[in-house]
């Protein structure tokens, strides 16, 4: 039996509608040098998502980090059809926000991301984020 879906209202950084499987990192993500713009694979050594692909996922992480060129890595991913379906943060920062805006990736922050798990089914509709947990409950 699955748990009741959770719904949160966050702050819209880039409005949009998206749905997909969550890919959750407990650590910040830097797109320049951390995610391959040609493949969508997380390449940062030692990162919890190292080796995983962000394409089509609802990418969940606390905040961004790194160079302003990271915005263009997100744009490159979008241009190649490898962008995340949406981005959810605890607290957005300008690099990822600009990347989401120029790449038309729905983005919401001010969310309790610690309640999401990789594999959860997530729907984003403006500020509303609904999560269907894949964890089984008794």
Q: Which residues does the annotation mark as catalytic?
A: 67
- The answer for residues whose C-beta is within 8 angstroms of residue 4's C-beta and 6 or more apart is none
Q: List phi, psi (to 5°) of 97.
A: -60, -50
Structure tokens at 102: 């120029």
CA dihedral 14, 19, 25, 30 (to 10 degrees): -40
* DSSP class of 29: B
Cβ neighbours, 10 Å, residue 102: 14
């Amino acid at each position: 039996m699955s748990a009741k879906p959770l719904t949160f209202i966050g702050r819209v950084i880039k409005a949009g509608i998206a749905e997909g499987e969550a890919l959750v990192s407990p650590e910040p993500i830097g797109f320049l040098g951390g995610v391959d713009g040609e493949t969508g694979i997380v390449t940062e050594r030692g990162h919890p998502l190292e080796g995983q692909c962000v394409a089509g996922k609802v990418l969940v992480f606390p905040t961004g980090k790194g160079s302003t060129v990271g915005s263009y890595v997100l744009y490159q991913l979008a241009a190649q059809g490898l962008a995340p379906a949406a981005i959810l943060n605890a607290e957005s920062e300008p690099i990822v926000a600009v990347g989401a805006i120029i790449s038309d990736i729905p983005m919401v922050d001010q969310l309790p991301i610690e309640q999401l798990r990789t594999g959860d089914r997530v729907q984003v509709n403006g500020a509303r984020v609904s999560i269907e947990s894949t964890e089984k409950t008794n």
